[in-house]
Amino acid sequence: MSQQQFDQTTESERSPFEEMPSLGLGTARHADTSEIEALGGLGVFAARFYLLIAPTIMLGALLGSDTPANIVFVLPAIGVLLIAPRKLLLRMPVSPALLLLMLWIALSYLWSVEQAQTLFAVREDLAPVVGLIIVLGLVPVSESIRWLVRGLKLMIAISLLVVMLYPETRVTFFDGEEVSAWEAWFVSKNQLGRSALVAFLFFLILDKTKFSRLVGIAGALVLVVGSSSATALAGVVFATGFYLWAIQFRRVGSDWTATYVFASLTGGFAALIAVFTSAAWVVGLLGRDLSFSGRSRLWEPSLDFISEKPWLGYGYRALFSGPTPETLDLWREMGFRASHSHNGPLEVTLGLGVIGLALFFVVWLGTFTSALRYLKRNDIAVFAFAFLMLQLMVSFVEPVFLRDWLSVLVVCRMLLLRMRIEEQTDQEALLNRVRGRSAMTLDDYSALEATRRRGRRGV
């Protein structure tokens, strides 16, 4: 077939190259084996071990809630960095916005009202983030997903085992009364619910082993229900909805994409109006009232304190630690000893100021736009889109912009960055292979046309 004849093929005629499973679908690239082997036996073991324990650490189970433990468990990631050959280090993706956010969190120690607590929190929360940036930046995407899935299943299995063996982990205390709500090996039922929710979403989208996927989803749902967390239960519904929306979006032809998005936005806006006009009935279905279990009482005092230090805040996770004068004044206004503000934007601004909130949204929006760019053809993008939308919604009643869900945001960010580098490497390898031939085959034309089409779609 001549070049002219090939150029006349219609857009609807998809090449075999385009029909290959894309990255993030659980299918390894041909280059993945060589890239993993470049780390050496010790490096591969350290990377896989870290990805296996990372979910437990980053989602805040008791094993990972202790600062010394977090620092010790990040050592395998540091080892991978030291072992990695120079060619892998040069291809390691970097997110300047993410690094700036991490730096700002660390610098908040300088103006913290409780420096000891901020130092503790910085080491506790940023250690998993550093490890994830290193390992996810050096390990192929397919390998990272495979071991993260295994790590999440390990976390779910241990949680279920703890609940079965220890009756005290099946109850919690609310307003001084013992209620049936699982905590497992987490510090609270809400944290168990949020962690199981992340696992559910991960299994739903990125686990491609059918039976294992169903077992993982079932285990995560059992923990969500057992936690009795209304936020987590509602999150399962919304996460599934975002996933189904993204899947349908991928099936819509290019001519109908704008119409589908417009109809979705219109329907979403109408749904929001319906929810707000019948808010009492909606929250009643979840067994709550319009104060969201007293959360709304925390927001006005939080806004008052933000107005006193709007730019820098009071230091990362310092304000609710006590017994500083600022903390005691805030608790007095709130009426009880709250552990946080129960709101994502408020929590970030209280600790890091408006500057910190702006840096967070730069990272969030950068990840969101990357997810949208790949949404039509990649499951990693589907997961990132669903999680980011879920994070935005849950942030209304929980401080999920930072702490444990910051690590999940980092996972989304690094997987998308690494995926883009792998695609660029594959395209360069293909072009180099084609340039080295005297004659091009039909498969070569198909592959080149596929790369051109991806380029026109902004990939």
The runs of H, that is alpha helices, within 292-403 are: 296-308, 325-334, 344-374, 379-394
Which DSSP letter does residue 177 get?
E
Which residues are paired to 179 by β-bridges? 172
Q: What is the pTM of this model?
A: 0.85
Please name the residues in contact with 257: beta carbons below 8 A apart, sequence gap of 6 or more: 249
Residue with tokens 């005297």: 438
In tens, the pLDDT along 185-216 reads 898 898 999 999 999 999 999 998 889 999 99
Average pLDDT over residues 155-161: 95
Range of the domain at 210: 3-456
Q: How far apart are CA 183 and CA 191, in angstroms?
A: 8
Cβ distance 226 to 163 under 8 Å? yes
Tell me, what's the pLDDT at 218?
Answer: 97
212 vs 141: CA distance, rounded Å: 20
Domain count along the chain: 1
pLDDT of the residue at 376: 86
Contact criterion met (CB below 8 Å) for 416 and 377: no
Query: Angle at which helices 115-138 and 404-435 pack, to 10 degrees?
Result: 20
**DSSP class per residue in 30-63:** HHHHHHHHTTHHHHHHHHHHHHHHHHHHHTTBGG
Taking 60 as the threshold, does the pLDDT of residue 269 lie above it? yes
> Which pLDDT does position 16 carry in this prediction?
32
Calculate mean pLDDT across residues 272-288: 55
- For the stretch 381-394, pLDDT in tens is 999 999 999 999 99
Tokens of 421: 């580098």
Q: Is 46 left (phi over 0), alpha (psi -120 to 50) or beta?
A: alpha
Give the pLDDT of residue 176: 67
Residue 74's pLDDT is 87
* pLDDT value, residue 219: 97
**Angle, CA 122 vertex, CA 118 and CA 128 arms, to 5°:** 160
Question: Over the stretch 444-458, which tens digit does the pLDDT of each residue have?
Answer: 556 656 655 544 443
pLDDT more than 90, % of the chain: 48
- Whether a cis peptide bond, with omega within 30° of 0, leads into 301 is no
Share above pLDDT 70 across residues of the chain, in percent, rounded to a whole number: 78
Cα dist from 121 to 181, 315, 319, 348, whole Å: 27, 10, 12, 13
Q: What is the dihedral of CA 235, 184, 397, 393, to 10 degrees?
A: -30
pLDDT value at residue 457: 41
12-16, 93-97, 114-118, 450-454: range with lowest mean pLDDT = 12-16
Reported as a pLDDT band with limits 50, 70 and 90, residue 10 is very low
Interatomic CA distance for residues 97 and 365, integer angstroms: 10
- DSSP letters spanning 252-320: S-GGGHHHHHHHHHHHHHHHHHHHHHTHHHHHHHTT--TTTTTTHHHHHHHHHHHHHSTTT-S-TTTTT
